[in-house]
Amino acid sequence: MRSEIRRTAAMAMAALCSLAATVAHAQWKPEKQVTLVVPYAPGGGVDAQTRAVAKELQRIWGQTVIVDNTSGADGLIGTRKVIESRPDGYTLLVQINALTLSKHLPTFKGPDPVTLLTPISAFSALPGVFVANAKLPVKTVAELVRYCKANPCSYGTTETYARLQGQMWKAENGLDSLVIVNYKGGGQLITDLVANNVNASIMGITAALPHYKTGSLRILASAGKKRSIVTPEVPSGSEAGVVGFDTLTWYGVFAPKGTPDNVVQGVAAAVQEAVKAEDVKKAFAVIGSEPIGNTPAEFAAMVREEGERLSALVKRFPLE
């Protein structure tokens, strides 16, 4: 009888401890200003979505949440800023899939930044789009391939991720004469695309959408297995038959390695709540992004899987 009482008491104590831990995780909230570092320039898809999330986090936490755009070196400058910050939840990073490519950059030195960060939660996923100048006599990716086999063509890019996609598209379609032009900034790339100085590109839908609406650019396909909610008339990458163009770009929050688990879980819970807010969902929908809001473990799995996928791609098409 006594052993049964002891066993029951032990089970009750374990349950209470588990409940206390869960409550502690869910209840962690910052007591001062939080900074979300965006390692890219203002105005892009990363920035727009982060600001919508930051505004909602500020409401949830009752603390100021600012967005700090620290761009440069393919996102590495802002990323290192967070890695070197105190692991206390007050300086967080917002990054995309391209983070997993950092270790492959020719000029990169030091440890893989992914290993120095703790994934917290992916808050959204956004399709890239395959665009072409509207003056070209093409309306589909297949037509663009045929055109580029018969005429000189160029593909512009500003990001390593899009450059890899361009190299794969070139190789898969036998476009040996296709010239890949690397730009330092998205503004100049868009200018040259609209002027037809460069013929095609894969880019974020946020940058392409205004020019698609005015008719200066054509969106031939959107990344993913299903069509974008903002361009339902445009085929998905799978439908258009673009090899490797079926993966969406995710946007997620990271903390410096060593951040306490209760802080990580607390931030994750707040992000999950934030993406359910109507204002955030509306902000995402405007640019065709879809909310996620997953757990740290789920996001860590996404980061790992994307790293493996892109590493395999880099082996086929080494970065220069």
- Res 188 pLDDT > 60: yes
Query: Closest Cα partner for 198 from 184, 188, 207?
Result: 188
Where do the domains of the chain lie?
31-125+248-316, 128-240
Residues 6+ apart with CB under 8 A from 303: 99, 100, 114, 119, 252
- Calculate mean pLDDT across residues 232-241: 92
**8 A C-beta contact, residue 228 and residue 222:** yes
31-125+248-316 shares its CATH topology with 128-240: yes
Least confident of 103-107, 242-246, 247-251: 242-246
pLDDT at residue 73 in the model: 84
pLDDT at residue 22 in the model: 46
Least confident of 83-87, 150-154, 168-172, 222-226: 222-226
The topology (CATH level 3) of 31-125+248-316 is D-Maltodextrin-Binding Protein; domain 2 (3.40.190)
Query: Closest Cα partner for 177 from 200, 203, 161, 155?
Result: 155
pLDDT tens column, 139-148 = 999 999 999 9
How much of the chain exceeds pLDDT 90, in percent?
70
Could you tell me the CA-to-CA distances from 258 to 32, 46, 87, 106 in Å, in that order? Answer: 20, 25, 6, 28
How does the average pLDDT of the chain come out, rounded? 90
Least confident of 58-72, 152-166, 248-262: 152-166
pTM of the model: 0.84
Highest mean pLDDT among 13-22, 82-91, 102-111, 162-171 belongs to 82-91
pLDDT at residue 84 in the model: 97
**What separation, in Å, do the N-terminal and C-terminal C-alpha atoms of the chain show?**
73
Instruction: Using pLDDT thresholds of 50, 70 and 90, give the confidence band for residue 4.
Output: low
Least confident of 65-69, 94-98, 162-166, 214-218: 162-166
CA distance 27 to 60: 11
pLDDT at residue 320 in the model: 73
Determine if residue 241 is left, alpha or beta; phi over 0 gives left, psi from -120 to 50 gives alpha, anything else beta.
left
The topology (CATH level 3) of 128-240 is D-Maltodextrin-Binding Protein; domain 2 (3.40.190)
- The owner of tokens 């892109």 is 310
Q: Could you tell me which residue, 110 or 275, shows the higher pLDDT?
A: 275
- Res 40 pLDDT > 80: yes
pLDDT at residue 224 in the model: 85
